[in-house]
Each structure stands twice: as structure tokens, then as C-alpha cells.
């Protein structure tokens, strides 16, 4: 069976992963002040982060249109789509609408849209799972069943230097962000079962928060030897490598991958942010 994986641009990948998966990314649109960016290969992340620091207005993001997804659905392959949590973005609904429109206009074709209930590296791991299952002798609905189970069991957590953009974008209550900044608290956030964001731990000082971030894996994870740990970083590769080193001292993951965040993930994680999923 020939498959195609489609994901929105919150799915952060290395160049090697993109080639291996043959994945097609449908970009979101990012706006800082009067300037609009397309979250694709043309985006200069360093320049974008610099603009975020200098811009007084909070960044805005727009999900891809159904037409954008319809273009990605073209071809003879069975299509598996991975999107941002529907609780955080309209991208999932746009992808589903595109599926309905495509089938109505073009004809019957297998297209399945997965709500990741996550973002960033969570979408990456889901895409890798689809690719892994696609190489086995499974039909489309067997892949859907196994991937849905994987999504239900997956955990996503993040540790950020700043909660400012997350708060301004309406993804976090402003009071929580203000209290955290005032008390030098570095909250460890996580995805809820329905794909929203919740506070998991409150730790004062980054060094202690970093260690608690490592400990959270043991508190929340099971059967880690059967799982891949994904680490996404925003302009802080050294921090991601240090996190991987500390994790390897305590846990025995099947594999650990590190990716750099693209535009959408960087918009909310901001400079120095880490997001993990397993």
C-alpha cells in the first residue's frame, strides 16, 4: 500500500526526517505587527525570533485554508493527515473540511485526519508512527486504529523561558503568566486528554525546573523502553542536548530524537523553550 503523510507546519522535523517520511507540510501563516510570514522553508527562524523580541504586539497565527490541504491530498496514495490539537487551532477542522470537499469534487479516496491532541514534537512522533506502520502489511483502518491508540497514550510536556506569547495568544490565562513571572516560577505545562494546556508543576528557578522536567518523565511515563522520546527546542540546541543527557542517566528509551522548532512552535515556545513528547 502506498501512503502519503500530510501535516501542518507545527510538525517539527529534521531535514533527514522530511526525506525519509516523504511528508508534505501545509504551512500556517504567522503575523507580527504588519508583517506576515509563511511558516515554510523560506522562514528565517533567527530573524523571526528577533522580530518577536522587538515587536510590541503579540504574534497572531492563521491556520491553513481547506484549499491548502486539498492541494496536499492530490495523488494516488492513501493520505494520513496529522494536525494541531483541535482545542488549540482551527487547523484540524480545516483539514477535515478539505477532505469532504476533495472527495465531493474529485471522487472517493482514502483520507484520514488525526487530531494530535498535541502540537510540535507530538505531531512529529505521530507522523513517525504512521510511517513505521505504513511499511508493514496493514490496511488503512488498521493503521488508523493503532495510531489512535498511540495518540491516546502519548504524553506532551513543555518548559518555557517565558509565558508571555502563550498568554497573549489566549493559550494560557494571563493571571498565571503574571504570577509566574513575578515569583520567578518556571511552570511545567502539559497537554490534557482533550488537547488543551494545563499546569503540571510549579517550580521556582530554571535549574530546579529543568530537573523536575526530567523527573516528570518518570512520574508520567510507563514502558519507556518501548517508546521514542522526542525533544523540540527553540534556538537552544545545547539545552536540548543537556536534557537528553540527563534523561539517558535515568531512563531507557528505545530512541531519543531532537528537532529544532519551526515558526509556529517557536511563536508560542519562544526563545529557549523545550517541548517533549513520548
- Residue 260 half-sphere exposure, CB side, CA atoms within 13 Å? 14
Q: Is 75 exposed, middle or buried (0-12, 13-18, 19+ CB in 10 A)?
A: exposed
Tabulate helix, strand, coil % of the chain (nearest 5): 45, 25, 30
Q: What is the pTM of this model?
A: 0.94
Q: Give me the chain's average pLDDT, please.
A: 93
The predicted structure's pLDDT at residue 260:
98
Q: Which residues of the chain have pLDDT under 50?
A: none
DSSP 141-154: HHHHHHHHHHHHH-
The predicted structure's pLDDT at residue 92:
98
All structural domains of the chain: 3-28+63-153 (3.40.50.10440), 156-277 (3.30.1180.10)
The predicted structure's pLDDT at residue 172:
64
The predicted structure's pLDDT at residue 187:
83
State how far the Cα of 147 lies from the Cα of 227, in Å rounded to an integer. Answer: 14
What is the end-to-end Cα distance of the chain in Å, rounded? 27
Q: Give the pairing type, strands 78-83 and 111-115.
A: parallel
The predicted structure's pLDDT at residue 168:
63
Q: What is the CA radius of gyration of the chain?
A: 18
CA-closest candidate to residue 55, choices 168, 177, 215: 168
- Taking residue 137's Cβ as centre, other Cβ atoms within 10 Å add up to 6
CA-closest candidate to residue 268, choices 44, 47, 52: 52
User: What DSSP designation does 253 have?
Assistant: -
CA-closest candidate to residue 83, choices 92, 96, 73: 92
The predicted structure's pLDDT at residue 97:
98
Contact predicate 25/5, CB 8 Å? no
Amino acid at each position: 500500500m502506498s501512503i502519503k503523510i500530510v501535516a501542518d507546519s507545527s510538525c517539527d522535523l529534521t531535514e533527514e526526517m522530511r526525506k525519509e517520511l516523504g511528508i508534505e507540510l501545509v504551512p500556517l501563516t504567522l503575523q507580527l505587527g504588519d508583517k506576515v510570514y509563511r511558516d515554510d522553508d523560506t522562514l528565517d527562524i533567527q530573524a523571526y525570533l528577533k522580530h518577536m523580541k522587538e515587536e510590541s504586539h503579540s504574534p497572531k497565527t492563521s491556520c491553513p485554508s481547506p484549499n491548502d490541504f486539498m492541494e496536499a491530498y492530490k495523488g494516488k496514495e492513501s493520505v494520513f493527515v496529522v494536525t494541531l490539537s483541535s482545542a488549540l487551532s482551527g487547523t484540524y477542522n480545516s483539514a477535515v473540511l478539505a477532505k469532504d470537499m476533495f472527495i465531493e469534487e474529485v471522487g472517493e479516496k482514502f483520507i484520514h485526519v488525526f487530531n494530535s491532541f498535541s502540537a510540535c514534537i507530538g505531531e512529529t512522533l505521530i507522523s513517525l508512527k504512521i510511517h513505521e506502520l505504513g511499511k508493514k502489511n496493514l490496511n488503512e483502518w488498521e493503521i488508523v486504529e493503532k495510531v489512535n491508540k498511540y495518540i491516546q497514550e502519548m504524553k506532551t510536556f513543555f518548559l518555557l523561558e517565558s509565558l508571555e506569547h502563550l498568554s497573549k495568544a489566549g493559550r494560557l490565562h494571563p493571571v498565571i503568566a503574571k504570577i509566574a513571572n513575578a515569583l520567578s516560577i518556571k511552570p511545567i505545562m502539559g497537554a490534557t486528554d482533550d488537547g488543551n494546556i494545563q499546569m503540571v508543576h510549579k517550580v521556582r528557578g530554571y535549574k530546579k525546573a529543568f530537573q523536575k522536567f526530567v523527573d516528570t518523565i518518570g512520574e508520567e511515563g510507563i514502558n519507556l523502553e518501548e517508546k521514542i522520546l522526542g525533544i523540540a527546542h527553540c534556538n537552544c540546541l545545547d539545552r536540548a542536548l543537556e536534557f537528553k543527557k540527563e534523561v539517558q542517566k535515568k531512563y531507557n528509551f528505545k530512541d531519543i530524537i531532537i528537532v529544532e522548532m519551526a515558526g509556529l512552535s517557536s511563536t508560542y515556545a519562544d526563545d529557549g523553550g523545550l517541548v517533549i513528547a513520548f
